[in-house]
Structure 1
Amino acid sequence: MVEWSPDYSIKNHHLDAQHQELMKYVGLAKVIINMEPAVKEAKLKLLISKLLIYAKEHIKDEEEYMKRINYPFFKEHRASHMVFMKNLKAIVSNFNDIDKTSVKLFEFLDHWLLKHILEEDKRIEAFRNCLTEINELPYNLQQKTKILDEAYDISNEVKHRYVCLCHLKVHEVCDTLDKELQREHSYICCTTCKNPIIKLDTELEKDENKFDDLLKQYYIE
């Protein structure tokens, strides 16, 4: 039976949590196989009802995530989701033989979830990792912050001040993103002026000449 492992993580804490929850459903399906006939049917119907609702929610969230990062294999991945829902509904549509249905449901979920995460969902992680490695970050500050918030708990992090060409505008950048930008020497843009945001350190604040030099370096051709 599938059990959660860090190897299955796609570095998105929300989707990882949903995958872990789906694995719990697989475990419940296995338990139901050996239940007494008097309670098996009711337990199986309840599990299926909850599973269908949760699977739809997970698929919706995962597909929205793929759209946000412009995942190039979105259509193919979405097609696999549609096949999953179709096969799941086909299995649970026939309750003539409760014993066979419970076994088929467990085997289907156990096989599909492991295969889907390792072969399909891990490709999403690989794609995003590739973007990071080549410093190809097609995000503005708001988009990048939202993506990081899905992978890390950044709500209580120290904020760093960045500036752009917008008059008197200061951007607050979380510590995780600040470290990434400084480490990788990469940049993200302001949604308003469309120019890179640059860290406003103490030296820049005290010396206007240094700020002018920075403007020439990053903004003036």
Structure 2
Amino acid sequence: AHAWAEIYDAYTQEWLRVDPTPGASPSNPDLPLPASFEMETGISAWVDSLRMQWYRRIVNFDQQDQVELATSMLDLGNQLLKSLSVKFKEVRTTLIDWLQRPFSRGSFIGGGVLLCLCFAVVYLWRTRFRWLHLLPRMLRRKQGLDPIRKMASRLLHRVQVQMAELELNDPRLGKLRDALKELEAVRFGPAVTMDVAKSVFAKAKQILRKRH
């Protein structure tokens, strides 16, 4: 519900809407306005503008305003249709001129390229959902291992191969198992520093060199 104050104007014989609480102003206009008053005045003006738009566009949206809005929308639609019609005529004229020209090698090549582009656009549009599904996979890069883990993987493979070649009573089997555990910790465990990795790699290489 909305409520407002009105007074009767005997001269025009109409009811006029009035604001019973107008904005206040300083009694002495020569005095400088404080900053707080200027801020309040700006906010009040902004609120009054919103109130005016509310009454004009919502409360007092009568039949005349509806007709004006419909007329403006109709004019905008007509202008848009006219501009589209002009553009269509320009494209049509350009296409007719191109078709009426004597065909040459360049025109055949241009026509073939244009036809291929049309087929490509139609194909991409018909298969757009498939491409949208495959595009992230195509753009996604495989995350490779860091150099420390790569080196640990290589040494792990060499240690496993050498352990498979040894007999169960070989004295080097225990050292290879210890090296295997350390390499697995570097390869699959938390990240380690380069110094720790170098010591583990040096120990594993030293054990691998000792064949006897």
Which protein shows a greater Rg?
Answer: 2
Normalised by the length of structure 1, the TM-score is 0.20
Normalised by the length of structure 2, the TM-score is 0.21
